[in-house]
Amino acid sequence: MNNQDAQPHGGHRHGGHGWMMIACCIPMLAIAIVLAATGVVGYGFIAIAVMCTVMMAMMGHGMSHGDSGQK
Protein backbone atom coordinates (compact mmCIF):
# COMPACT_ATOMS: atom_id res chain seq x y z
CA MET A 1 0.00 0.00 0.00
CA ASN A 2 1.33 3.39 -0.98
CA ASN A 3 1.23 6.28 1.53
CA GLN A 4 -0.26 8.49 -1.16
CA ASP A 5 -3.29 6.20 -1.38
CA ALA A 6 -4.20 6.70 2.27
CA GLN A 7 -6.79 9.38 2.85
CA PRO A 8 -6.88 11.44 6.04
CA HIS A 9 -9.90 11.05 8.34
CA GLY A 10 -10.81 7.70 6.83
CA GLY A 11 -11.84 9.23 3.50
CA HIS A 12 -14.41 11.58 5.01
CA ARG A 13 -14.40 15.25 4.07
CA HIS A 14 -14.95 17.76 6.86
CA GLY A 15 -16.32 20.79 5.03
CA GLY A 16 -17.93 22.28 8.14
CA HIS A 17 -14.62 23.04 9.84
CA GLY A 18 -14.44 26.52 8.31
CA TRP A 19 -17.93 27.36 9.53
CA MET A 20 -17.05 26.14 13.02
CA MET A 21 -14.01 28.43 13.09
CA ILE A 22 -16.18 31.39 12.08
CA ALA A 23 -18.79 30.46 14.69
CA CYS A 24 -16.09 30.67 17.35
CA CYS A 25 -15.53 34.30 16.34
CA ILE A 26 -19.15 35.36 16.98
CA PRO A 27 -18.65 35.93 20.74
CA MET A 28 -15.55 38.03 20.02
CA LEU A 29 -17.48 40.16 17.53
CA ALA A 30 -20.38 40.59 19.98
CA ILE A 31 -18.03 41.65 22.79
CA ALA A 32 -16.22 44.08 20.47
CA ILE A 33 -19.53 45.68 19.45
CA VAL A 34 -20.72 45.99 23.06
CA LEU A 35 -17.40 47.48 24.22
CA ALA A 36 -17.37 49.97 21.34
CA ALA A 37 -21.02 50.94 21.93
CA THR A 38 -20.39 51.60 25.62
CA GLY A 39 -17.28 53.65 24.88
CA VAL A 40 -14.79 51.35 26.61
CA VAL A 41 -12.79 50.91 23.38
CA GLY A 42 -12.71 52.77 20.09
CA TYR A 43 -14.60 51.69 17.00
CA GLY A 44 -11.31 50.57 15.42
CA PHE A 45 -11.52 47.56 17.73
CA ILE A 46 -14.51 46.32 15.70
CA ALA A 47 -12.38 46.51 12.55
CA ILE A 48 -9.71 44.36 14.23
CA ALA A 49 -12.33 41.80 15.29
CA VAL A 50 -13.73 41.68 11.73
CA MET A 51 -10.23 41.24 10.28
CA CYS A 52 -9.64 38.38 12.71
CA THR A 53 -12.90 36.74 11.57
CA VAL A 54 -11.91 37.11 7.91
CA MET A 55 -8.51 35.58 8.63
CA MET A 56 -10.15 32.64 10.43
CA ALA A 57 -12.51 32.17 7.45
CA MET A 58 -9.56 32.09 5.06
CA MET A 59 -7.72 29.55 7.22
CA GLY A 60 -10.83 27.39 7.55
CA HIS A 61 -11.36 27.48 3.80
CA GLY A 62 -7.75 26.50 3.24
CA MET A 63 -8.02 23.61 5.68
CA SER A 64 -11.21 22.36 4.03
CA HIS A 65 -9.72 22.30 0.53
CA GLY A 66 -6.08 21.53 1.25
CA ASP A 67 -6.26 17.83 0.35
CA SER A 68 -7.89 18.18 -3.07
CA GLY A 69 -4.74 17.05 -4.86
CA GLN A 70 -4.60 13.66 -3.15
CA LYS A 71 -6.47 10.67 -4.43
Q: Establish if 6 belongs to a structural domain.
A: no
Q: Is residue 58 part of a domain?
A: yes
Q: Is residue 48 part of a domain?
A: yes
Mean residue pLDDT of the chain comes to 76
Distance CA 41, CA 45 (A): 7
Q: Does 53 map to a domain?
A: yes
In terms of residue numbers, what domain contains 56?
Answer: 14-64
Closest CA to 30 of 50, 5, 12: 50
Tell me what pLDDT residue 8 has. 54
Size of the chain in residues: 71
Average pLDDT over residues 17-46: 88
What's the number of domains the chain is made of? 1
Task: Render pLDDT for 8-23 as a digit per residue (tens, 0 to 9).
Answer: 555 555 556 667 777 8
From the list 25, 17, 34, 26, the residue with the least C-alpha distance to 55 is: 25
Q: Taking a C-beta distance cutoff of 8 angstroms, is the pair 47, 5 a contact?
A: no
pLDDT bin (cut points 50, 70, 90) of residue 39 is very high
pTM here?
A: 0.59
Determine the number of helices (DSSP H) and then strands (DSSP E) in the chain.
3, 0
